[in-house]
C-alpha cells in the first residue's frame, strides 16, 4: 500500500507545476487516440475488409509506418553514442528524451505490425513458438525485442545516473548501453528491416542490396532530425533552451552528414532506375514520375532543401533547424510511402493493368491513433521521469 501511496504522491508532486495547456494537449491526444483505437478494434474484429489493401497490394500504411518508425528509433539512439562515445556532454539535457523517443518509436513500429497482421495474438508467439530462421520478418521482429530490451535498460541506467544514484559501475553500464545501442540499431535492427524488402525479388524497386544501406542512412537522418525537432519544441514550450547555440550547430552538422548520405543514395538510385532496361523498372519510373510525382517531389526536393538549410552555419540555429528537421522527417516519410506503395503497384503481369492503392480512413485513423498514444505517453513520461535538464536546474 505504501508503494501505491508513494507513487501517487510522486505523480502529484511531478505534475504540481503543470499548467492547463499541458492537460488540454493531453486531452486532445487522448481523444484522437480513442478514435483511432476504435478503428484498430474494428479491424481486429472484422478483419482488414474495410481497408484499401488488396491481394495485389497486400501491404499498406502500417508497413510504411513500420519502416518509418524503425528508422526513427535507430536514429534517435545516436545521442547516446555522442554523449558516451564521443564525450559530447552538451547533449546530456536531451539524453533521456532521445532514449524515450527511440523506445516509443520502436513501440510504434511494433504497434504497426500488430495492427497490420491478420492474427496479432498468434503473431505474439514469434519467436518462441513460431519461427522460420530464413524469414527476414522473423529476424527483424526478434531483433526489435532485443532493441527494446537495450533501450529500456539504457533508460533505467540513464535515470539512475541522472538522479545521482548510479555508482561507478552503474555509470559504466549506462555508457556501454549508450554505445552498443547504435551499432545494434543500425546493423541489426534497421539493416534487417531494409532486408525485409531487399530480398523480395518479385518487386523490382525493392530487390537491391543497397536497400539496407539506404534504410540506415535515412534512419539516421530522420531519427536524428526528430531528436532535434523535439529539443527545439520542448525548448520553446518550456521557454528555456535545453541546449546551447553551439550544440544546435553541431546537431546541424551531424544532420548534414546524414542527409548527404541519404541524398547521394536517393539521387543515384533514381538516376539508375530511370535508365532501367526492364519493363518493371520502367514501370516503376513511370509511377514515380506520374501518379506518385507529388510524393516523389516531396521526397527529393525535401531532402535537397533540408540539406541546403543545414549546409550553412548561419541557418544552423533553432529556427533554421526547425524547418530543416521538419522537412527531413516529411521527406523521408514520403520516401517510405513511395517505396512500399510503388514497389507493389508495378503489376506482376502486364495484363493486370493499372493497380490502385490509396489508404483510406480505416487505415489512416488507427495509424494516427497510434501516433497520438505515443505522443501522449511521451508527454506524460517527460513530466514524470527525472530528466537531466530539470534535475540540473533544480541543482542550480
Residues within the interface to other proteins (CB under 8 A): 46-49, 51, 53-56, 58-59, 113, 116-120, 122-123, 125-126, 130-132, 134-138, 141, 196, 199-203, 279, 344, 348-354
- Which of 67, 375, 21, 329 is CA-nearest to residue 196? 67
Alpha-carbon gap, residue 40 to 294, rounded angstroms: 28
The answer to whether the beta carbons of residues 266 and 328 sit under 8 Å apart is: no
Least gap, CB of 40 to other proteins (angstroms) = 14
Of 44 and 152, the one with the shorter C-beta distance to other proteins is 44
Shortest distance in whole angstroms from residue 185 CB to other proteins = 21
Q: For residue 347, count other CB atoms closer than 10 A to its CB.
A: 15
Choose between 137 and 323: whose C-beta lies nearer to other proteins.
Answer: 137
User: Residues 131, 135, 137, CA angle at the centre, nearest 5°?
Assistant: 90
The H-assigned helical ranges of the chain are 2-14, 20-46, 61-76, 78-84, 95-116, 120-123, 136-162, 168-183, 191-198, 211-238, 245-274, 279-288, 293-311, 318-345, 361-384, 388-395
CB of 229 to other proteins, least distance (A): 31
Shortest Å distance, C-beta 59 to other proteins: 6
DSSP track, 263-317: HHHHHHHHHHHHT--SHHHHHHHHHHTTTTHHHHHHHHHHHHHHHHHHHSGGG-S
CB of 371 to other proteins, least distance (A): 21
Rounded CA-CA distance 19/24 in Å is 9
Nearer to other proteins, 161 or 205 (CB): 205
Of 79 and 189, CB closest to other proteins: 189
57's enclosing H/E stretch is: none
Residue 264 phi, psi dihedral angles, 5° rounding? -60, -50
Whole-number minimum distance, CB 145 to other proteins, in Å? 13
Smallest distance, other proteins to C-beta of residue 138, A: 4
Burial class (CB in 10 A: 0-12, 13-18, 19+), 194: buried
Least Cα distance to 297 among 306, 307, 309, 288 occurs for 288
Among residues 203 and 390, whose Cβ is nearest to other proteins?
A: 203
Nearer to other proteins, 14 or 42 (CB): 42
Cis before 127 (ω within 30): yes
Give the residue with the Cβ less far from other proteins, 87 or 277: 277
Instruction: Tell me how far, at minimum, the Cβ of 125 lies from other proteins, in Å.
Output: 8
Q: CA 364, CA 96: separation in Å to the nearest integer?
A: 30
Of 170 and 281, which has the nearer Cβ to other proteins? 281
Smallest separation, CB 357 to other proteins (Å): 13
Residue 343 has phi, psi (to 5 degrees) of -55, -30
Nearer to other proteins, 167 or 209 (CB): 209
Amino acid at each position: 500500500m505504501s508503494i501505491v501511496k508513494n507513487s501517487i504522491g510522486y505523480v502529484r508532486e511531478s505534475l504540481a507545476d503543470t499548467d492547463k495547456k499541458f492537460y488540454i494537449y493531453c486531452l486532445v491526444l487522448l481523444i484522437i487516440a480513442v478514435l483511432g483505437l476504435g478503428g484498430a478494434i474494428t479491424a481486429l474484429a472484422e478483419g482488414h475488409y474495410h481497408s484499401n489493401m488488396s491481394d495485389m497490394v497486400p501491404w499498406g500504411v502500417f508497413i510504411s509506418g513500420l519502416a518509418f518508425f524503425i528508422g526513427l528509433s535507430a536514429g534517435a539512439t545516436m545521442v547516446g553514442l555522442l554523449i558516451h562515445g564521443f564525450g559530447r556532454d552538451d547533449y546530456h539535457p536531451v539524453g533521456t528524451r532521445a532514449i524515450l523517443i527511440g523506445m516509443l518509436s520502436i513501440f510504434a513500429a511494433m504497434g504497426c505490425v500488430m495492427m497490420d497482421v491478420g492474427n496479432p495474438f498468434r503473431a505474439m508467439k514469434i519467436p518462441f513458438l513460431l519461427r522460420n530462421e530464413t524469414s527476414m520478418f522473423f529476424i527483424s521482429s526478434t531483433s526489435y525485442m532485443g532493441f527494446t530490451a537495450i533501450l529500456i535498460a539504457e533508460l533505467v541506467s540513464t535515470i539512475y545516473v541522472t538522479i545521482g544514484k548510479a555508482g561507478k559501475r552503474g555509470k559504466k553500464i549506462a555508457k556501454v548501453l549508450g554505445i552498443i545501442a547504435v551499432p545494434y540499431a543500425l546493423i541489426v535492427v534497421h539493416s534487417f528491416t531494409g532486408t525485409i524488402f531487399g530480398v523480395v525479388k518479385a518487386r523490382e524497386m525493392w530487390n537491391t542490396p543497397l536497400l539496407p544501406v539506404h534504410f540506415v542512412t535515412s534512419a539516421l537522418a530522420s531519427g536524428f532530425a526528430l531528436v532535434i525537432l523535439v529539443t527545439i519544441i520542448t525548448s520553446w514550450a518550456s521557454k528555456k533552451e535545453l541546449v546551447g547555440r553551439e550544440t544546435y550547430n553541431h546537431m546541424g552538422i551531424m544532420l548534414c552528414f546524414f542527409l548527404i548520405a541519404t541524398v547521394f543514395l536517393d539521387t543515384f538510385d533514381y538516376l539508375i532506375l530511370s535508365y532501367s532496361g526492364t519493363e518493371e523498372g520502367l514501370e516503376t519510373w513511370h509511377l514515380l514520375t506520374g501518379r506518385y510525382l507529388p510524393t516523389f517531389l516531396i521526397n527529393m526536393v525535401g531532402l535537397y532543401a533540408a540539406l541546403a538549410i543545414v549546409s550553412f552555419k548561419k541557418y544552423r540555429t533553432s529556427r533554421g533547424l526547425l524547418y530543416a528537421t521538419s522537412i527531413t522527417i516529411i521527406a523521408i516519410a514520403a520516401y517510405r510511402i513511395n517505396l512500399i506503395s510503388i514497389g507493389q503497384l508495378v503489376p506482376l503481369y502486364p495484363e493486370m493493368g493499372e493497380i490502385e492503392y490509396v489508404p483510406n480512413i480505416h487505415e489512416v485513423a488507427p495509424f494516427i491513433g497510434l501516433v497520438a498514444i505515443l505522443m501522449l505517453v511521451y508527454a506524460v513520461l517527460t513530466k514524470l521521469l527525472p530528466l537531466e535538464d530539470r534535475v540540473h536546474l533544480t541543482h542550480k
